[in-house]
Structure 1
Amino acid sequence: MPKAPSVKKCRVHKEVSRVSMKAGIKGAKPASSAPAQGLVFNTDLGQHILKNPLIITSMVEKAGLKTTDTVLEVGPGTGNMTVKLLDRVKRVIACEVDSRMVAELHKRFLSTPLHSKLDIRIGDVLKADLPTFDVCVANLPYQISSPFVFKLLLHRPIFRCAILMFQQEFAERLIARPGDKLYCRLTVNTQLLAKVDHLMKVGKNNFRPPPKVESAVVRIEPKNPVPNINFSEWDGLLRIVFVRKNKTLSAAFKQSSVLQTLEKNYKTWCSLKERKIPDDFVLKDKVEEILIDGQFHKKRARQMDQDDFLALLHAFNKEGIHFV
């Protein structure tokens, strides 16, 4: 009897694929072309079944897969995307939370020649350590889009690319430019670490049952080498300036909660550097001085680009003011 695909207990987020299509594998026993009758999909977990097979094919093709690749698939569901991936790569690590879907995967691949290439992992992907992989393909439930993107981008070793389906508005935030309505902290953080391309829009009528919003597929390619920057501190700066992205930086840095945090960080920095703080030192005045000297005081976060934020962070750090 064929050996079943391996199953490793790791915690992978509550998500399943929104993909279901007729698919066969050259040289393999065809798996069932649809989910088992009576299988009810849980929309709370993002289980919306994609009816258009051309979209799955396009996603797989745009991943630029190699026969030597290991692919991380998040939310394989009943395995319709998995089928196409297994036919092209060396190994697929399929992360799934729904035990019913895991059973469907076993049922689908157990009697096929592809079973040895499939590694099924069960649990919460946001809490588990990601394995080493070359490419990621995922149809994500919207509620975990942001944390999953940053988990990917901060993952080491660096992967080659990710082909991900998101809510359309979320995808547009990833590719926004300074001045755009959707330009935000997510935009700047993502574009610091990766090149992001919009691949296609996916209308809600392509799914069964249809979600309440339109979807889109993007390609994320991590920058290599990684930018030489403390990401936690960088994000700390962006958290401040994007709270009210239409306000001037001068106004953003006058908030008492911001000044209290920066003063605490400054005192810690001075202590570590064994520097005495002058008796007449007022952090609020120092912050304003830095903003004016760098001509940042009248700028607004919504219109600043990556170079502007890097220059701002450097100006603060140079004076011993940090954001972590």
Structure 2
Amino acid sequence: MPKTPSTKKCRTHGEAVKQGICFNTSVGQHILKNPLIINGMLDKAALRSTDTVLEIGPGTGNMTVKIMEKVKKVIACEIDPRMSAELQKRVQGTPLQRKLHLIVGDVLKLDALPFFDVCIANLPYQISSPIVFKLLLHRPFFRCAVLMFQREFAERLVAKPGEKLYCRLSLNTQLLARVDLLMKVGKNNFKPPPKVESSVVRIEPRNPPPPVNFTEWDGLVRIAFIRKNKMLTSSFTTKSVLDMLEKNYRIHCSVNNKIIPSDFCIKSLVSSLLLEIKFNTKRARTMDTDDFLQLLHIFNSNGIHFA
């Protein structure tokens, strides 16, 4: 009987059921099956025999096994106990078994990530942003991360000022790391295929990090990018923003025993500082990290805080 598309689909599904594996795409289970892509990611990570590698979402272990062949230890974080069992079964009784340390659970719920030199992951795309910042705020510093993302997310990470996809994510990531787009990956390299195209990104933390309070920085950037095409004067003088800044200013003055004049006006202070550094007509979409560092410095040095 000829293999029609429907019979082929049934056969494939039958094999999956027989193996006891049913991928849950709602939590991002799209297994990377192309060995060329896997090898390419490992090459870009420049692994060393002494490395400890953190892999997030190892699935059935297609990439995990290849990593273990090159390094001292792999810490694999997997949320799905079924996948964890498949991975353990895959290396059981082999020389690779002693190299695997498996953490079953949600990596985002870990109080702290374990020590690692390199992170490699085909990430569930819905946790992309929180994972990036959990990694970048992790200490001690790791050497690099090679990560698979949804293509548009990856392009946002590397977007430059003035480009359409440039956003708060771009700015925050580039403050803390050097980010490079490595390769595009089509849907058919996964099983089951996702609905979107993917890309691989290499992230290398800046060490030492920039001398900035990240909570303060992110508070400032969040306000500027609420409407990234508006002038900064407009973004920083809305009633809700001014109310928050005045509250923080009064706390700052109280803590530092500074007297606030009776005619104090937070709007006038904010506007004058923006004018002083000629940023009043600038727009967030065209500003780079140096611009925002300058803006945060003049605000903080005049008692205006965002945390």
TM range (shorter): over 0.9
Equivalent residues of 1:195, 1:222 under 8 A apart: yes
Which residue pairs with 1:108 in the alignment? 90
Check 1:318–1:282 CA distance in 2 against 1; reply closer, same or farther (3 A cut): same
Amino acid aligned to 1:240: I
Equivalent residues of 2:53, 2:71 under 8 A apart: yes
Richer in helix (by share)? 2
Instruction: Write the deviation string for residues 152-174 of structure 1: whole angstroms up to 9, x where unpaired.
Output: 00000000000000000000011
Amino acid aligned to 2:181: H
Which aligned pairs between 1:98-247 and structure 2 lie closer than 5 A? 98-128=80-110, 129-247=112-230
Structure 2 Cα separation of the partners of residues 36 and 231 of structure 1:
50
Equivalent residues of 2:248, 2:305 under 8 A apart: yes
Amino acid aligned to 2:194: P
Structure 1 Cα separation of the partners of residues 89 and 261 of structure 2:
72
Equivalent residues of 2:33, 2:62 under 8 A apart: no
Which residue pairs with 1:254 in the alignment? 237
Contiguous gaps of at least 5 residues in structure 2? 1-15
Which residue pairs with 2:25 in the alignment? 43
Which residue pairs with 2:294 in the alignment? 311
Which residue pairs with 2:66 in the alignment? 84
Amino acid aligned to 1:165: M
CA RMSD of aligned residues (A): 1.2
Structure 1 Cα separation of the partners of residues 104 and 18 of structure 2:
20
The match for 1:74 among 56, 60, 63 is: 56
Structure 1 Cα separation of the partners of residues 96 and 125 of structure 2:
30
Structure 2 Cα separation of the partners of residues 59 and 216 of structure 1:
11
TM-score w.r.t. length of structure 2: 0.93
TM-score w.r.t. length of structure 1: 0.88
Structure 2 Cα separation of the partners of residues 36 and 165 of structure 1:
29
Equivalent residues of 2:32, 2:62 under 8 A apart: no
Check 1:76–1:139 CA distance in 2 against 1; reply closer, same or farther (3 A cut): same
Equivalent residues of 1:176, 1:187 under 8 A apart: yes
Equivalent residues of 2:32, 2:122 under 8 A apart: no
Equivalent residues of 1:79, 1:105 under 8 A apart: yes
1:36, CA displacement in angstroms?
6.6
Matched, 1:95 2:69: no
1:49, CA displacement in angstroms?
2.4
Q: What is the aligned-residue identity percentage? A: 67
4+ aligned runs moved over 6 Å, structure 1: none
Instruction: Write the deviation string for residues 180-234 of structure 1: whole angstroms up to 9, x where unpaired.
Output: 0110111110000000000000011222221111000000000011111101000
Matched, 1:300 2:283: yes
Amino acid aligned to 2:128: S
Equivalent residues of 1:237, 1:323 under 8 A apart: yes
The match for 2:42 among 20, 38, 60 is: 60
Structure 2 Cα separation of the partners of residues 204 and 66 of structure 1:
30
Matched, 1:269 2:252: yes
Instruction: Write the deviation string for residues 42-89 of structure 1: whole angstroms up to 9, x where unpaired.
Output: 101111122321000100111100000000001111111011111000
Structure 2 Cα separation of the partners of residues 318 and 147 of structure 1:
30
Pairs aligned (count):
291
Structure 1 Cα separation of the partners of residues 236 and 155 of structure 2:
28
Structure 2 Cα separation of the partners of residues 107 and 293 of structure 1:
65
Structure 2 Cα separation of the partners of residues 35 and 74 of structure 1:
25
Structure 2 Cα separation of the partners of residues 211 and 102 of structure 1:
21
